[in-house]
Structure 1
Amino acid sequence: MMYFTEKSLILVDGSSYLYRAYHACPRLTTDSGFPTGAMYGMLNMLRSLLLKYQHSHVAVVFDAPGKTFRDALFIEYKSHRPIMPYELQIQLEPLQEIIKSLGLPLLVIPGVEADDVIGTLALEAEKLGQTVLISTDDKDMAQLVSQNINIINSIDNRMMGPQEVFEKYGIPSSLIIDLLALVGDTSDNIPGVAGVGKKSAQALLQGLGGIQVIYKNLDKVASLPFRGSKNIALKLEKNKGMAFLSYELATIKTDVQLSLTSNQLTYTTPTLSYLLELLKKYEFNQWLSHLENKTWWRWHCKAWHIIEKRIIIEKEREDKKGAINTFEPTTYLDILDKVTFSTWIENIKNSKYCAFYIETDSLDVFTANIVGLSFSTMLGKAVYLPVSFSKKTSSTQLDGFYILEMLQPVLENMNLVKIGCNLKFYYKILKKYNINLQGLCFDVFLESYVLDSIGNCRDLYILAERWLHYDLAMLTHIVRKKRHKPVCHPVLIGSNNYCAAIHADVTLQLHTKMWTQLEQKRDLKYIFEEIDMPLVPVLSRIEQNGVLIDKKFLSEYSKEISSRLTNLELQAHEFAGESFNLFSPKQLQVILFKKHGIKSTKKTPGGDLSTSEEVLSQLSLHYPLAKVILEHRCLSKIQSSYTNKLLRMIHPDTQRVHTSYHQTVTVTGRLSSSNPNLQNIPVRNNEGRRVRKAFVAPQGYSIIVADYSQIELRIMAHFSQDAGLLLAFSKEQDVHCATAAEVFGVDLPVVTKEQRRSAKAINFGLIYGMSAFGLARQLCIGVGEAKIYIDRYFGRYPGVLHYMRNTRKKAAEQGYVSTLHGRRLYLPDINARNGIRRQAAERAAINAPMQGTAADIMKLAMISIDIWLAQQKFPLFRMIMQVHDELVFEVKSHSIAGASMQICALMEGCIHLDVPLRVDIGIGENWDQAH
């Protein structure tokens, strides 16, 4: 990898950044509704990049509007790309104005693309002895890579030099254009050679060389050692003209006539007054904070001076009386001796609250070890205890066992309020050391989530930026953060106290800021205090319980799938008339739509003929090949996502899998899970149900599944107060049958299974905001017929229609909707000019209160059950999973009846609605059997 020096040049593909920022932050707007997501995202991306790498020269390059020379070469070039969205168009000019006012050189050259400008500047700089870094996500740029020109991928921040290009593409950068000429480029609509895939192209380029050499040696192609080489030779000959056209289209120009040289691409003095005006206009408060704190210099400093500058700024901040939101390393203390430790413990015992942070060497609770603890009881002050359990512990460090022994009374004191981030993990990790963490009152991740569930609520850096206007990204220059273990920069502090203690300090400051807001919103305060925080230890216990897995059954099923996949592959090759890669959409497109002449029903966003599951499902009704491919995909997903993955996740000591539940991922309040994701195991097909058979009860126990029956429809009845729905539920009628009788105009006793299925789709579809078009697709009927069904439904349940209209109106007025308990879902797009985004927000406005209320009811039920279990001397059962609307339990086989009654009573009685809650109980030896 090349070394960055004072003469380094950074070239930013502005157009690439722009679209990525737009799709990453589409919802941000000013108070007046002007969209700013792309602007905000791109500015932060730029700033992060320019702080990270040493450089003296820089330029941001955008595509110019209008056609280029490539459009003249090939009329279809980029023709499939949609027009730039209006919300993005109007952000472009102000974004470029902000970039220029920051003093960054900005280039927009008509008639050529940004790639060509970048290519020209990169080669010119290389000739002048400069090293060049190109920041882009465009794979075409790999053709420019050399020892002195590297690429950094703007998506994953991976650096690519010559070696990395070869490892990724199997060829040197000098042959990237040839690769694109052969395989084409769907993003730019470069055609390539029909029938030549990536592997064939690599074999050609590795065996013969570039396309000039290949076409001079077509007779040698057939003898190359890869499958189908004879056919490839014919395809090359047939598509020679297209190959050379593609080569010309893919080649980046490096001789663009520019009015300045790479040596002139240096920073200019920022236009601070204009910059301030723009930042205020577009409400970029964090950037305004940078200016007010005189930190705008960071754009101009060289990377190796950042730390020295940081120290100067810290001193300036210390001199400001009444200054808040500052970091003062001198107030952070390492505790390395018993006297100081004892003094501090007495101090914390006299405190009302304590923010703390646990540093571990892994995020896997079963393998993680505590390596450090930091605590804060006062804003701006914190202590750090390095922890080691080694017998060779340094004489300048306290023994880890001694530390935890002394801390145990503090951590288990339920009257001492604990403040943290990710307290569920802390609870579990301390359990390993026989410490029962008590007084869990405030988790700042949950506080942020309750205040606004949109956005990342699980990253301390993001929360510090959002709530405190701290630039913790700067700490990456002081704290070079590895995956889980930070290492401090010795120039500034010389020890670990600053790195670890800052987390405790920031946690306390975040809580102080957010709790002030929560106290002003009684409904949100209730959600936090009565639902989300009490659930933390409950989830921790469920995760620790885990669920037993029948390893032998799962292993045998995985082997069976492998055999079936092999047979399906052979069938597919037979139907296709040739061998091909079933996992390759491109090869499948050729087989289905070109060779077999099947008419595609849909295109991908990139303009290719789609081979999605939806398309294959439609084609499978008439074409055996599509049916085989569909079955192959289903089995392959089951094997990779579940059978094989679950086998790897079985804990060797417990023979169980221990999922992790997340409270701050979904915007509606529903729980999610990972490692493994239990929410996505299919239940409607036989393969998914067979996976569930591997989730078993231990000897002498049974599995109980307790499932809330039609809970979201019951919540709709409560919200809408529709007389028909209220009556149906109060009489314990089958609501789907009742709906079918009304919609299809038949008596209740003669409703067919098909009519009930359609009514079920209508019931649930409408509360998800489904349109007549969506219902027609789901029921395979005409749109007109679907509209008749919907009209009949609302004629039967007018209160539902009234509720939906009022909800949309209220959401548009206040910008959010609420659950029964007051949890809010903000809807930034509810008044968007873009119809698609606005309609999606309207659908969310209707569904979110139901889904969020159902989630809150489930959480309250889990809390009630956990409290009841804690009161039992010999509990009858224990919770092992929560999936969608169901709870799963392990119960002693002789206690099934009593356990079932108690579970039903607790789940149905955790809340009162205007319709009764009902829980269906299933019992079996495994999860599937109990379902």
Structure 2
Amino acid sequence: MTDKKTLVLVDGSSYLYRAFHAMPDLRAVPGDPTSPATGAIRGMINMMQALRKEVVADYAVCVFDASGPTFRDALYTEYKATRSPMPDDLRSQIEPIHQVVDLLGWKVVAVPGVEADDVIATLANAAAAQGMEVIVSSGDKDLSQLVNEHITIIDTMSGKRRDVAGVTAEFGVPPALMVDYQALVGDTVDNVPGVTKVGPKTAAKWLEEYGSLDNLIANADAIKGVAGNNLREAIASGQLALSRQLVTMKTDCALADYIPGLPAFDDITLDAPDNEGLLPFYEKYGFKGLAAAIKGASAPAATAPTVAMPGQSGDLFADHSASTVAEEAQHRTVVYDTILNWADFDQWLERLHKAPLTAIDTETDSLDEMRAQIVGISFSVQPGEAAYIPLRHEGPDAPAQLPLDEVLARLKPWLEDPKHPKLGQHIKYDRHVFANHGIEVQGYAHDTMLQSYVLEVHKPHNLTSLAERHTGRKGISYEDLCGKGAHQIPFAQVPVDKAAAYSCEDSDQTLDVHNALWPLLQADDKLRFIYELEIASSEALYRIERNGVLIDAPTLAAQSHELGQRILQLETEAYEIAGQRFNLSSPKQLGEIFFDKLGMPVIKKTATGARSTDEEVLEKLAEDYPLPAKLLEHRSLVKLKGTYTDKLAQLALPRTGRVHTHYAQAVAVTGRLSSNDPNLQNIPIRTPEGRRVREAFVAPAGRVIASADYSQIELRIMAHLSGDHSLLHAFHAGLDVHRATAAEVFGVEVDQVTSEQRRYAKVINFGLIYGMSSFGLAKNLGIETKAAAAYIDKYFQRYPGVKQYMDDTKAAAKSMGYVETVFGRRLYLPEINSPNGPRRAGAERAAINAPMQGTAADLIKLAMVAVQKELDAHKPDIKMIMQVHDELVFELPEGDVDWLKSHIPRLMAEVAALKVPLLAEVGVGPNWDKAH
């Protein structure tokens, strides 16, 4: 046991810049670019809280640079002259950052005339002299000169630790020589001159050979070559002496006015956070989650008695504001029941029948919705009241439970009655779980996950986050209950009392979150429409997932065998070209063969300075060298085999012989669906081998596969949004839009457009939708950047409406902080007003593209819902089995092909009235590939 004290010194100036550049462009009023910036403040809070958890400290100081010049500016007027001025958005956040760091319990210090590094050096040396352990938290390498057996530098963002060994390994010199090293190398960031043309390797070599800068200077005449001349010139001119002064940190700063009592450190103990001060601060700057966490911590503890309550329920559709719901939730005593007998069950069943809305949550034995079996069910019909029915808990202490089959039989009429509105968090999963037990739930009116997805697409949508964000409630986590990793137990082994508290809380919180979010959706007609579309899409997707698609395992096995043979052949060919065997997946070995043995040019380097052999480099080198081309083909085939031909049959559900993908609704900010286990949207179809995978998606005997695909949907949406006369004409006249574009750009008649010109026009059409620059277009077409820029200029001359749309959309995005689809889905762009140029440019590209991608996502969802309704009414034997991008895939009896070809394209075209006609095309075949 040791009583050695620890001092933590935070380089606040380093922290605040990193916080500013790491965080999005947050505002006190979200979406309002005129509102004060808060991103750096939020990032600073995150970093200080993380550091506090990571490092135990007795004393702590956060040191910032003070405004105004320092002694180094007097020494050298060009010191830091090349630095860009502090962005205004960061400057405005400095004072509140100082304030919040102080409220978080840290001593805040900023000393005029010196830099934060000097204050840190003074404090670190003083503490180390008293035998303390000193930890400096900074990403600044210059502080490495302070390191010794008592002082260590840590970088919490990168995980890097600079102790004596770490500094020596990183720079090639020990910490004691870091001032000498820095003086020689100089610093381009701070504009410290150093010795011309002397880099890290030369500096480390000289210091290793001569032992110190003074010895090096004494032996400068012995240094040969240009570097020696530059060294002698730097010595003679005084430049080297100046550099040494500039990089040497002061260790004797006068700090008595800032930290009374030094050399004692009693004034800088790390204090507990000042929650009374933090709460109004968080509320002022819009940090609702942080404010809610403080309120939650001070709320009275909830109790969970197991006594049944009277069957009383309030109006859950009342117009609660989010703040009212949060206030009520935090100060409520909850009543959670555990149902272990029929009398309690009947009482709760009666409450379910009378309730205007019931939140349901299932506890299961699997996350795979097609395999999951129920372990227990919870319900909540009124805020603060819920019940749990344990059904399959096991273990020596598990109580006698009601029989699963009988409970489900008694619940089934209520569950399948659409007149009883139901609520859930991710209702599609629970639909599957009940269906696994033969129950087709009807009446799901609301899903809190989808409510959040529509209202706040850029935030997390899990129940834990929603409850904390909107009600201030922090609940029991699944890991708290079941453990983690290899030690995690099945839910069935969780003690019933703990399982009841957890499951009841989930249903209760779901009801609370709904009461906070639903009024917000009701108040906005466009968002309510999108939400209702998501609810309807959830039901259609449940049907698609349930249907699944039949997989032909022998076809996949044959493809895997062929791919395996081709992979082996490619390896042999690669060895022959290289003249040796090597590991095709080893970047180090590839670098040696490419650049050392075969003399290929180095295209780019990795962050660590290694010669890159990533895919982009391989594609560039493949233009001139055969080996990279072989490796690209090898990588694509290995991925295709491992991801699809080997695994698809394994993913098929044994009882159906089909794969049942999972469609995630609440992921993509544009509204697009994502598909996983298996991912049906990423099957590579640009290669013959990739396209062949779709041959294994088949129909059973007597049935066929049909594919209905929107034609050029995003270009049609661009025509609608821009209102450009030429684009509108092309689609209304039924022209080939790429050929029409080529005619406009190249100034020829439509019937004179060559295939190469059409290809160029197609790249231009789609490239501009995705915000492609002239550089990107040039790279894509293999032409000069100047020629690509000329094509873009010509395009905008011929399609001025498109240019106007792009300009107007960027301006609107900057004003509102978001863009909208045709139907009103909001697509937030937190970086649209960022001072960071590349981030802002990326947000501007997204502002142009997102309304098109988002509108396309809305259209396919509208089509999916309309088509499923039509099938249910007229052709229940036709099954929708996949939704992939802008395509719906069906399995149907051969006799229904004509009906589908007639009705489905019409339905898909009629789901919305745009300024151009929508067109859907249908293909039919024995498998998915042949249906295209």
Q: TM-score, normalised by structure 2?
A: 0.75
Any conservation in 1 of the 2:372–2:436 contact (CA below 8 Å)? Answer: no
Distance 2:765 2:103 in 1: 55
Corresponding residue of 1:891: 892
Match runs of 1:170-189 below 5 Å:
none
SS at match of 1:803: helix
Distance 2:641 2:40 in 1: 39
Pick which of 636-645 and 728-737 moved more. Answer: 636-645
Over alpha carbons, which structure has the higher Rg?
A: 2
Distance 1:369 1:13 in 2: 53
- Relative to structure 1, is the Cα distance of residues 59 and 707 closer, same or farther in structure 2, using a 3 angstrom cutoff? farther
Pick which of 542-551 and 730-739 moved more. Answer: 542-551
1:105 Cα offset (Å): 6.7
1:638 Cα offset (Å): 1.5
Tell me, yes or no, if structure 1 residue 499 matches structure 2 residue 502.
yes
Question: What CA deviation, in whole Å up to 9, does each residue of 1:624-653 have, x standing for no partner?
Answer: 122122122212222233223324312222
- Relative to structure 1, is the Cα distance of residues 544 and 40 closer, same or farther in structure 2, using a 3 angstrom cutoff? same
SS at match of 1:600: coil
Distance 2:783 2:863 in 1: 40
**Counterpart residue identity of residue 518, structure 1:** L
Tell me, yes or no, if structure 1 residue 466 matches structure 2 residue 469.
yes
Question: What CA deviation, in whole Å up to 9, does each residue of 1:147-193 have, x standing for no partner?
Answer: xx9x999899xxx9xxxx9xxxxxxx9999999899xxxxx9x9xxx
Tell me, yes or no, if structure 1 residue 26 matches structure 2 residue 24.
yes
- Relative to structure 1, is the Cα distance of residues 364 and 35 closer, same or farther in structure 2, using a 3 angstrom cutoff? same
Corresponding residue of 2:225: none
Corresponding residue of 2:837: 835
Distance 1:487 1:154 in 2: 36
How well do the aligned residues superpose, as a CA RMSD in angstroms?
Answer: 5.2
Corresponding residue of 1:433: 437
1:885 Cα offset (Å): 1.0
Any conservation in 1 of the 2:395–2:493 contact (CA below 8 Å)? Answer: no
- Relative to structure 1, is the Cα distance of residues 82 and 404 closer, same or farther in structure 2, using a 3 angstrom cutoff? farther
Question: What CA deviation, in whole Å up to 9, does each residue of 1:853-889 have, x standing for no partner?
Answer: 11111111111111112123x5352111111111111
Corresponding residue of 1:922: 923
Corresponding residue of 2:550: 548
SS at match of 2:918: coil
Corresponding residue of 1:638: 640
Corresponding residue of 1:282: 285
Any conservation in 2 of the 1:6–1:55 contact (CA below 8 Å)? Answer: no
Distance 2:435 2:767 in 1: 44
Distance 1:327 1:654 in 2: 49
Corresponding residue of 2:175: none
1:816 Cα offset (Å): 1.6
SS at match of 1:368: coil
Distance 1:96 1:416 in 2: 54
From 633, 643, 652, the counterpart of 1:650: 652
1:10 Cα offset (Å): 10
1:91 Cα offset (Å): 6.1
From 714, 717, 721, the counterpart of 1:715: 717
Question: What CA deviation, in whole Å up to 9, does each residue of 1:7-36 have, x standing for no partner?
Answer: 999999999998997787424233345543
1:524 Cα offset (Å): 0.7
1:710 Cα offset (Å): 0.6
Distance 1:562 1:181 in 2: 46
Any conservation in 1 of the 2:431–2:440 contact (CA below 8 Å)? Answer: yes
Distance 1:694 1:7 in 2: 67
Pick which of 96-105 and 384-393 moved more. Answer: 384-393
- Relative to structure 1, is the Cα distance of residues 565 and 801 closer, same or farther in structure 2, using a 3 angstrom cutoff? same
Any conservation in 2 of the 1:374–1:383 contact (CA below 8 Å)? Answer: yes
SS at match of 2:654: coil
Any conservation in 2 of the 1:558–1:644 contact (CA below 8 Å)? Answer: yes
Q: TM-score, normalised by structure 1?
A: 0.75
Match runs of 1:92-107 below 5 Å:
95=97, 97-104=99-106
Corresponding residue of 1:783: 785
Distance 1:926 1:16 in 2: 59
**Structure 1: segments with no counterpart, 5+ residues:** 66-80, 166-172, 183-187, 191-255, 296-308
Percent of residue pairs identical: 42
1:426 Cα offset (Å): 0.6
Corresponding residue of 2:901: 900
Distance 2:435 2:155 in 1: 43
**Counterpart residue identity of residue 829, structure 2:** L
Any conservation in 2 of the 1:393–1:399 contact (CA below 8 Å)? Answer: no
**Counterpart residue identity of residue 542, structure 1:** I
Corresponding residue of 2:519: 516
Question: What CA deviation, in whole Å up to 9, does each residue of 1:502-524 have, x standing for no partner?
Answer: 11111111111111111111011
Match runs of 1:99-178 below 5 Å:
99-104=101-106, 110=117
**Structure 2: segments with no counterpart, 5+ residues:** 67-82, 110-114, 173-177, 182-250, 254-261, 306-323
Distance 2:8 2:421 in 1: 49
Distance 1:365 1:178 in 2: 54
1:403 Cα offset (Å): 2.0
Corresponding residue of 1:525: 528
SS at match of 1:610: coil
Count of aligned pairs between the two proteins? 811
Tell me, yes or no, if structure 1 residue 345 matches structure 2 residue 349.
yes
- Relative to structure 1, is the Cα distance of residues 478 and 886 closer, same or farther in structure 2, using a 3 angstrom cutoff? closer
Corresponding residue of 2:226: none
Tell me, yes or no, if structure 1 residue 582 matches structure 2 residue 587.
no
Corresponding residue of 2:866: 864
1:5 Cα offset (Å): 14
Corresponding residue of 2:80: none
Corresponding residue of 2:368: 364
- Relative to structure 1, is the Cα distance of residues 375 and 853 closer, same or farther in structure 2, using a 3 angstrom cutoff? same
Distance 2:841 2:483 in 1: 42
**Counterpart residue identity of residue 840, structure 1:** G
Pick which of 550-559 and 703-712 moved more. Answer: 550-559
Match runs of 1:752-901 below 5 Å:
752-872=754-874, 875-901=876-902
Corresponding residue of 1:617: 619
Question: What CA deviation, in whole Å up to 9, does each residue of 1:525-570 have, x standing for no partner?
Answer: 11112x1101111101111111122222222322333333333334
Corresponding residue of 1:203: none
1:705 Cα offset (Å): 1.4
Match runs of 1:633-712 below 5 Å:
633-712=635-714
Any conservation in 2 of the 1:8–1:54 contact (CA below 8 Å)? Answer: no
SS at match of 1:540: helix
Pick which of 661-670 and 327-336 moved more. Answer: 327-336
Distance 1:848 1:134 in 2: 40
SS at match of 1:324: helix
Question: What CA deviation, in whole Å up to 9, does each residue of 1:467-512 have, x standing for no partner?
Answer: 223344x868975765798989999x96433221111111111111
- Relative to structure 1, is the Cα distance of residues 418 and 330 closer, same or farther in structure 2, using a 3 angstrom cutoff? closer
Tell me, yes or no, if structure 1 residue 740 matches structure 2 residue 738.
no
- Relative to structure 1, is the Cα distance of residues 40 and 639 closer, same or farther in structure 2, using a 3 angstrom cutoff? farther
Any conservation in 2 of the 1:360–1:372 contact (CA below 8 Å)? Answer: yes
Distance 1:94 1:476 in 2: 37
Corresponding residue of 1:724: 726
Any conservation in 2 of the 1:374–1:385 contact (CA below 8 Å)? Answer: yes
**Counterpart residue identity of residue 724, structure 2:** D
Any conservation in 1 of the 2:744–2:795 contact (CA below 8 Å)? Answer: yes
Corresponding residue of 1:302: none
1:117 Cα offset (Å): 8.0
**Counterpart residue identity of residue 460, structure 2:** N
- Relative to structure 1, is the Cα distance of residues 567 and 521 closer, same or farther in structure 2, using a 3 angstrom cutoff? same
Corresponding residue of 2:631: 629
Any conservation in 2 of the 1:877–1:891 contact (CA below 8 Å)? Answer: yes
SS at match of 2:556: helix
Corresponding residue of 2:70: none
- Relative to structure 1, is the Cα distance of residues 582 and 97 closer, same or farther in structure 2, using a 3 angstrom cutoff? farther
Distance 2:509 2:39 in 1: 26
SS at match of 1:534: helix
Any conservation in 2 of the 1:539–1:661 contact (CA below 8 Å)? Answer: yes
Question: What CA deviation, in whole Å up to 9, does each residue of 1:49-82 have, x standing for no partner?
Answer: 867x9978586889999xxxxxxxxxxxxxxx99
Corresponding residue of 1:563: 565
SS at match of 1:634: helix
